[in-house]
Amino acid sequence: MDIKLKTLIAVCEEGSFTKASDILALTQPAVSQQIKSLEQDFRITIFDKRKKKLELTPEGELLLRYAKRIDQLTLNLQSTFDGMKKNVNFQQTLTVGVTHTLESNIIAKAIAQYTAENNAFHVRLISDSVKNLYQKMKTYEVDLIIITGNINDKNFDFITLDNDSLAVAVANDNPLSKEESVSLQKLSKEKLILRSKTSDTRLLFESHLKTKFMEISDFNVILELDNVEVIKDLVRDNFGTSILARKSCIREIKKNRFKLINIDGIDMTRQINIYFHKDFSYINELKRMITIYNQLITQ
């Protein structure tokens, strides 16, 4: 990777020319010269010199994003070459990003089954928020992402994997489990265990509340966390109710661990989409994963 771009990344990550020089084993004047050379190459100003702290200009922010993308692509390429040299039966690595909700979905099982039947691929599965996964896609840290909802970016293509909807998860010994649906007014009196404020599940629930002129503050929220599996365990043991995606609860519903009920007058449906770069070259492999997923869903 170009040393000038590597220097820019180091300066931004360390927040200091001095610290970057230590990391790169360069003198501080040499670091400054690398940044100046970048500015000359692209005829831009990278840092806002009016600020006391290092702060990127809009052009600097764009350059940093591309520098990180180039860095990640270089690492990926080197890793691929290393794997090819070490193993004649080299497996192509496919990095797949999923949201925390979908991490507990049949998606992981479908990917595992695909890798079991296809020795040519090694799949690395990571989970993160939609926002972070989107950024990882932009810098090629992941090859594709599986998320709920849509991304408005002309650089990506997508395939719809499935439809999902949110529901109220209640313990079997909770009186609400005998109902088909619950009103928001009645739900507001329950102890609620919710995903974090930035999760897609939480945001979708809140957006529907607003259509009914209600807010989260109208509810008795006793706990917030991002681990979906922990939330399901707490619901099962009747510590509270929650708002969860139906597809993330398939195993629990089949084993009758808790119940899912609707909310009166609210349809919290959303799409599960697979996004990938337009130059993604494993469409056939992706379609096979989707076929496996559909088979597992119907079992």
Q: What is the pLDDT of residues 106-134, one digit of tens each?
A: 888 888 888 888 776 778 888 888 888 99
Domain that holds residue 184: 91-299
Residues 48 and 105 placed together within one structural domain of the fold: no
Q: Please, which residues bridge with residue 193 across strands?
A: 223, 242
Q: Average pLDDT of 231-258?
A: 94
Q: Given the structure tokens 């600020």, which residue do they identify? A: 51
Please give the sequence-ordered ranges of beta strands (E in DSSP) within 172-289, or none if there are none: 181-182, 191-194, 220-224, 241-245, 258-263, 269-277
Strands 241-245 and 258-263: unpaired
Q: Is residue 103 part of a domain?
A: yes
Residue 126: strand, helix, or coil = strand
d(CA 49, CA 40): 16
Q: Is residue 86 part of a domain?
A: no
Residues 136 and 35 placed together within one structural domain of the fold: no
Residues 21 and 146 placed together within one structural domain of the fold: no
Confidence of residue 87 (pLDDT cuts 50, 70, 90): low
Residues 16 and 163 placed together within one structural domain of the fold: no
Q: Average pLDDT of 40-61?
A: 89
How many distinct structural domains can be found in the chain? 2
Confidence of residue 214 (pLDDT cuts 50, 70, 90): very high
Confidence of residue 90 (pLDDT cuts 50, 70, 90): very low
Average pLDDT, the chain: 89
d(CA 218, CA 228): 23
The CA-to-CA distance between both ends of the chain, in Å, stands at 48
Residues 96 and 75 placed together within one structural domain of the fold: no
Residues 177 and 212 placed together within one structural domain of the fold: yes
Residue 242: name the closest of 229, 146, 104 by CA: 229
Strands 121-127 and 181-182: unpaired
d(CA 184, CA 209): 9
d(CA 181, CA 68): 48
d(CA 24, CA 37): 17
Residues 279 and 172 placed together within one structural domain of the fold: yes
Q: Which two tokens stand for residue 116?
A: 């079991």
Residue 268: name the closest of 171, 174, 168 by CA: 168
Residue 270: name the closest of 296, 292, 242, 248 by CA: 248
